[in-house]
Amino acid sequence: MTCKSIVAAVAALCASVTAASAADPATVARGKYLVTIASCHDCHTPGYFLGKPDMARYLGGSDVGFELPGLGVFLGPNLTPDEATGLAKWTDAQVIAALQKGERPDGRMLAPIMPYHAFANFTPQDVQAIVAFLRSVPPVQHKVAGPFGPTQTPDVFVMMVVPPGTPPSPPPPSK
């Protein structure tokens, strides 16, 4: 085999791998539809909870946390395929486990504000479509703050979830 034929074979192999990994446009469209109706952008797009969603950083991770009494403050993470701050290093199976079981690759459970119990009802085809769509969105480099434990002071805007009959936490002392 000549050097020229080896280069051609490698190029053909790379092209076939790239073509095989490209998701079907109908699958990506289905994933986009599901992500939209599930309102994933609410918790995972910066500015959304402040009334000014930054669509240039769509699904790039929230800048507002949810305080859950006794548990701490949690922010919706970056769902884009960014290498450093997003889901690029997660396998499809890991994304699906987070989506449907609330399990992170590191073994930690997601905050209970994440509706993984509801998302467990998605069909296997639906979760594959969601993964395909998430892999298709432009990567956004955005390291999300937190999580913050119940004794930590968050440095982000926080929305508090207060169960009935529970007095809200007093505001932190002014500096």
Residue 1 has pLDDT above 60, yes or no: no
The half-sphere exposure of 27 on its side-chain side, counting CA atoms within 13 A, is 16
Residue 105 has pLDDT above 50, yes or no: yes
More confident residue, 12 or 86: 86
Query: What is the pTM for the complete model shown?
Result: 0.79
- Report pLDDT digits (tens) over 36-85: 999 999 999 999 988 999 999 999 999 999 998 888 999 999 999 999 99
- What percentage of the chain exceeds 90 in pLDDT? 70
Q: Lay out the sheet containing 72-75: strands in order across.
A: 72-75, 64-68, 157-160
- Give the residues across from 109 on adjacent strands: 103
